[in-house]
Amino acid sequence: MDEKIIEFENVTMFYDADDEEGNKAPIPALSNVDFSVEKGEFVAVLGHNGSGKSTLAKLCNAIYEPNSGVVRVKGIVADDDEKADEVRRIVGMVFQNPDNQIVATIVEDDVAFGPENLGVEPSEIRRRVDEALEAVNMYKYRHREPHKLSGGQKQRVAIAGVLAMQTECIVLDEPTAMLDPVGREEVMQTVHRMNKEMGITVVLITHFMDEAVKADRVVVMDSGRVVMQGKPREIFSRVEELRSHGLDVPQSTELCHILGYGEGVLNVDECVEMITEKLGGAR
Ligand code: ADP
Ligand code: MG
């Protein structure tokens, strides 16, 4: 598994804006970022607001071009429209607000929109749409109106839209931020299934630590830079360092850290095990 699907090399990106006097004042969004994703990997990207996560996501999907440095998607640099289209056949995107991604008035038409744009044959589109809706557990809602669905259901329809384009990689920019706990869980299960069962590479941008815990690798951003990366257990052992970047740790990690019982506990089960062991040992 060491084929790189996404590769950022020394990428710098800023937005043009005007300051109060109307002079051009570029706003830095990414500074000298090196970042890569291997085929089949599940990478979580963390960082407080304004740290550059969405900018990174949009560069993966050729929505933006970097001001300097290079972004490669399977070796392709999206420096013209044709190559940008090629990149978008490899990397699909799901955004935070499900309502901004719906383009049709019927669920199955919405899912068909992507492959239609790619010029896929109608019979093949039919097959892909059904398969994609099955994969996200939304097949029985195929004739419904998307705006009447719950947030979690809408996000699963958006994911089906990406699946129907058969991209190898999906970048999700805080897909659960606007969802209730049930919707979050539905979406996270779907994303994990896509990764494990379909082999789709996942880049999940999130501010929920418990979502990052389940990734293969965690990347932490701060002020447009990648400041930490490693396996979840390693990253969540560095409690104070995470705090210095404005992030919390999962509650179970925090509890064991406060109790002085040890670092790198990732979930409730491990926390219970750790406490039981410590209390048992003290008896
Ligand atoms: P995040 O997703 O981590 O919140 P962003 O990538 O959205 O971070 O933003 C990084 C920086 O770029 C922030 O300072 C933000 O204010 C700025 N920024 C983002 N989008 C724009 C834009 N369209 N115009 C101007 N500045 C922007
Ligand atoms: Mg963002």
Per-residue model confidence (pLDDT) at position 249: 83
Share of the chain above pLDDT 70, in %: 99
Picking from 128, 86, 87, 89, the residue whose alpha carbon sits closest to that of residue 108 is 128
Least distant ligand from the CA of 53? 1
How far is residue 194's CA from residue 167's CA, in Å, rounded to a whole number? Answer: 11
Backbone angles phi, psi at 209, to 5 degrees: -65, -35
Contact present, 65 and 54 (Cβ < 8 Å):
no
Ligand 1 atom at minimum distance from 30 CA: 10
Characterize 118-144 residue by residue with b for buried, 16 or more Cβ atoms within 10 angstroms of its Cβ, and e for exposed.
Answer: eebeeeebeebbbebbebbebbebbeb
Provide the edge-to-edge strand list for the sheet that holds 201-205.
91-94, 169-173, 201-205, 42-46, 217-222, 225-230
Least distant ligand from the CA of 27? 1
Ligand 1 atom at minimum distance from 224 CA: 10
Which of 15, 61, 204, 206 for mutating ligand 1's site (highest number of atoms within 8 Å of CB)? 15
Overall residue count recorded for the chain in this entry? 283
Q: What is the pTM of this model?
A: 0.92
The radius of gyration of the chain from alpha carbons, rounded to an integer in Å, stands at: 20
Residue 264, by phi and psi: left (phi above 0), alpha (psi -120 to 50) or beta?
left
Which amino acid is present at 256? C
| 158-187 pLDDT per residue, tens | 999 999 999 999 999 999 998 889 889 989
Mean pLDDT of the chain: 92
Nearest CA to ligand 1 atom 6: 52
Ligand 2 centroid, distance to 174 Cα (angstroms): 7
Ligand 1 atom at minimum distance from 173 CA: 2
Ligand 1 centroid, distance to 182 Cα (angstroms): 29
Which of 13, 24, 54 for mutating ligand 1's site (highest number of atoms within 8 Å of CB)? 54
Nearest CA to ligand 1 atom 23: 15
| Tokens describing residue 51 | 């740290």
The gap from C-alpha 127 to its chain's centroid, in whole angstroms, comes to 26
Binding site membership of 259 for ligand 1 (Cβ less than 6 Å):
no
| Tokens describing residue 178 | 């606007």
Per-residue model confidence (pLDDT) at position 282: 57
Helices then strands, each counted (H, E), the chain = 11, 9
Cα torsion angle, 109, 115, 118, 120, sign: negative
| 187-212 pLDDT per residue, tens | 999 999 999 999 999 999 998 998 99
How large is the average pLDDT for residues 249-255? Answer: 84
Domains in the chain: ranges and CATH: 4-249 (3.40.50.300)
Contact present, 50 and 221 (Cβ < 8 Å):
no
How far is residue 20's CA from residue 29's CA, in Å, rounded to a whole number? Answer: 20
Per-residue model confidence (pLDDT) at position 283: 53
Binding site membership of 50 for ligand 1 (Cβ less than 6 Å):
yes
| Tokens describing residue 4 | 């790189």
Which of 12, 14, 27, 35 for mutating ligand 1's site (highest number of atoms within 8 Å of CB)? 27
